[in-house]
């Protein structure tokens, strides 16, 4: 499974309260969403600030910080393998969006 996605981020939209100070730098958790169809600008990917479980449950608006497009793929996209869990390989087997993200 391989893909390359080029995207641009609007750094002015990165909220400072979501930044995490680490030992080797300052980080922010982002989520990249790939779509089957392109929008009017030719983009089929969007980047948002990762929401917590509480933010998702409260139906808070996502903070969009960028968009882009898939520029290459080998034709198969699957989820990353989890320990003791089989990889998801088809679009019909989407992960539960209510579970907490690992970061």
The one-character DSSP state at 93 is S
Number of domains in the chain: 1
C-alpha distances out from residue 31 to 18, 47, 60, Å? 13, 6, 15
Least Cα distance to 6 among 41, 32, 37 occurs for: 32
**Domain housing 21:** 3-73
Q: What is the pTM of this model?
A: 0.69
In a domain, 64, yes or no: yes
**Element housing 36 (H / E):** none
Encode the chain (103 residues) as per-residue pLDDT tens digits.
588 999 999 999 999 999 999 999 999 999 999 988 888 888 999 999 999 999 999 999 999 999 999 999 898 877 776 666 455 454 444 445 445 555 5
Residue 17 lies in a domain: yes
- In a domain, residue 48? The reply is yes
């Amino acid at each position: 499974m391989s893909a390359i996605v080029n995207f641009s981020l609007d750094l002015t939209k990165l909220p400072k309260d979501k930044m995490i100070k680490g030992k080797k730098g300052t980080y922010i958790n982002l989520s990249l969403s790939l779509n089957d169809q392109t929008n009017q600008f030719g983009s089929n990917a969007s980047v948002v600030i990762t929401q917590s479980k509480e933010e998702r449950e409260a139906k808070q608006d996502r903070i969009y910080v960028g968009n882009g497009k898939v520029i290459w793929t080998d034709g198969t996209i699957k989820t990353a393998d989890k320990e003791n869990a089989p990889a998801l390989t088809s679009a019909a087997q989407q992960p539960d969006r209510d579970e907490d993200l690992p970061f």
